[in-house]
Amino acid sequence: MKIIKLEVGNLGTNCYIVFCEETREAAVIDPGGNEGDILRVIAREKLKVPYIINTHGHADHIMANSKIKQATGAKILIHQQDADMLTNARSNLSAFIGNGLVCDPADKTVADGDAIDLGTTVHLKVLHTPGHTQGGISLLAGSVLFSGDTLFAESIGRTDFPGGSYQQLLKSIQEKFMPLADDVKVLPGHGPETTIGWERRMNPFIQ
């Protein structure tokens, strides 16, 4: 498994391109803008992209969905509870910043425990981790966790947006993340990477 990280959009969203090095099948996780940069990586690495995966439906994580889909033919995957955010500018919050973003609708919705396979070497397990949004998901691939906006380095996602819940977010972290091994690498939706062990010891929200 190979992972390429790009910082995209006005809010510094971490977009991850994860792919099987044997088959070159890839998923683009949270293409929140800068579609040209994303497509250049796809072309450079000679990737086939069956999936775009949104960890949640806020505008800064879905901005380039439609253009990446148009260029690659990828299917857009998101949790059912966030699916309407793709096509509703108020729900994805872009209406409040003068953008009015409307993306292509989801091709398929995912649920807790679903598996997303890329080629022969990449197996992503969907973890439903509500709290930042009701349909927030994280993705576990072996010893790597794509945590979206649920868990950050020594912090957690905001819960003051519509659909957010502080208690629900903490429950998601405790139930889905804390049982994982200390050496699991956490790749969040914003900011630097961390590990489960570090967050277990140093994150003030989950002590």
Choose the weakest-confidence range: 4-13, 32-41, 43-52, 98-107: 98-107
pTM over 0.75: yes
Read off the pLDDT band of 183 (50, 70, 90).
very high
- Domains of the chain listed by start with CATH number: 2-202 (3.60.15.10)
Mean pLDDT of the chain: 97
What is the per-residue pLDDT for 96? 82
What is the per-residue pLDDT for 100? 86
**Residue 133: pLDDT above 90?**
yes
What the block records as the tokens of 12 is 């510094």
Task: List C-alpha distances in Å: 10 to 35, 59, 62, 76, 144.
Answer: 13, 11, 12, 22, 26
Identify the sign of the CA torsion 132, 111, 126, 83.
negative
**Residue 97: pLDDT above 80?**
no
pLDDT above 90 coverage of the chain, percent: 96
DSSP string, 2-54: EEEEEEETTTTEEEEEEE-TTT-EEEEE---S-HHHHHHHHHHTT-EEEEEE-
